[in-house]
Structure 1
């Protein structure tokens, strides 16, 4: 890998085998280097291949303005998400995360803390992303000698969620509202207080997130487990209340999203609702 232009001690521009421009970042990777020099590739944190002029300008501005340690922290968080949870994240998430970490540290050192209005929902509906956020703030605190509040774990989780949703952050809000509405229907219809930390509720939330995805994509090819026992229980009428609740959910989804639950959809919904009901 040869340098085409030094940006600073920690970044330079090169070209890949397809003659595309690449921006390469790594601590002291370009220190003392000049045009056409080779570099130690083991020092590379991240390589960007900008798609547009806007992307290129954004990355170059960040390289010049943001200390290298924040790029390194962002890479560790992205690596953690990808290795531990098999979450695939795009370069745009890495860029947004780097910028957010830098801003968060600057804010906290200035005594300014932001409240995350979705913190409860993130903890309840996206636990694995939230756990990565918690791990991330411990990393940031130790590296940058700050004490970030739990709200920041939620903000980092939102960046990870947005990457999973293909940067469609509006969809995150829609999914949150969808889960809240369905949960409210179950709570009201069954007159139960749901334990939102329970395994059954977490399974229900996971099912609702998958249901949302195939409802939006109109993809009916989904199979979750062996349903023989649950089907038998429903046929015998042991889950009448849960089934009636599932019908309320069906009516809400039909009216709000113009999607009609088929018998299989109803069955899955009934099973999850029944598990919540049985736990109360």
Structure 2
């Protein structure tokens, strides 16, 4: 994104149409908000926001809802201001966002490095997750940040419940945790869509209860919490699958404890 088409011109000077590289026409509902952004946000932040949006559209090969020009620009202005004041606001959902929205998170990492290079500021690592959420939300037909955050929040709570039950920290980069994470993401999607959850043979379910007692009790606690939080019913067979995944995570506790 180079100099504006009005650079070096005076009021009412004609504009050469061949020099127009990109046009942004905000929808009626966003026009006033975008106008406020243009008048209250430093030009370098607006410029960086547009660079990130253009880069993301190219990488993801998808157009964004035009509200991204408002939401991302406003967010970046706030993030840069906090960084310059040396105030750090941590995002406790960063790991869940990294796993849920991988492509957007990678672009968020690129954006953080790009901003730091251009503005000579130091942003917290979690900022990649914040940017990823804005990008993911803008890809949806009806953007809703609350919906985008809900799954990440639920998965974060389930992880913290496992950690609290066993008094250990989960290594979130391990393959076993990734398998658990992927399974629970599908479970939540099925619950949201009103679909049937996984079934398990009664003999196998009985063996899981007997052999993996602690993991099963942990899974029961998690299922009870999900039932209350989502007003749904989690069958015992699904608790069995959750218990198997929890049990597979446990060896990672020992590795993280020894490092």
Asked if TM exceeds 0.5, the reply is yes
TM-score, normalised relative to structure 1 = 0.65
Give, in whole Å, the separation in 1 of the partners of 2:79 and 2:168.
39
Q: Residue in 2 aligned with 1:40?
A: 18
Q: Residue in 2 aligned with 1:125?
A: 96
Q: Which has the higher strand share?
A: 1
Cα 1:163–1:202 change in 2 (3 A) is farther
Tell whether 2:162 aligns with 1:200: no
Query: Is contact 2:82–2:88 with CA below 8 Å preserved after alignment?
Result: no
Query: Is contact 1:30–1:39 with CA below 8 Å preserved after alignment?
Result: no
Query: Is contact 1:26–1:68 with CA below 8 Å preserved after alignment?
Result: no
Unpaired segments ≥5 residues, structure 2: 254-259
Task: Report the count of equivalent residues.
Answer: 243
Unpaired segments ≥5 residues, structure 1: 1-24
Structure 2 residue corresponding to 1:61, chosen from 36, 60, 72: 36
Q: Residue in 1 aligned with 2:256?
A: none
Q: Which has the higher helix share?
A: 2
Query: Is contact 1:162–1:169 with CA below 8 Å preserved after alignment?
Result: yes
Structure 2 residue corresponding to 1:218, chosen from 176, 193, 199: 193
Query: Is contact 1:116–1:155 with CA below 8 Å preserved after alignment?
Result: no
How far did 1:62 drift?
A: 2.5
Q: Residue in 2 aligned with 1:73?
A: 48
Give, in whole Å, the separation in 1 of the partners of 2:204 and 2:162.
18
Give, in whole Å, the separation in 2 of the partners of 1:104 and 1:253.
33
Give, in whole Å, the separation in 2 of the partners of 1:145 and 1:188.
39
Tell whether 2:225 aligns with 1:255: no
Tell whether 2:89 aligns with 1:112: no
TM-score, normalised relative to structure 2 = 0.69
Cα 1:236–1:259 change in 2 (3 A) is closer
After superposition, residues 21-40 of structure 1 pair within 5 angstroms as: 27-31=3-7, 32=9, 39-40=17-18
Aligned residue for 2:67, secondary structure, equals helix
For residues 71-104 of structure 1, what are the alpha-carbon distances to aligned partners after superposition, in whole Å with 9 as ceiling and x for unaligned? Answer: 3422332344455467874222232212232344
Give, in whole Å, the separation in 2 of the partners of 1:219 and 1:163.
25
Tell whether 2:245 aligns with 1:275: no
Cα 1:163–1:252 change in 2 (3 A) is same
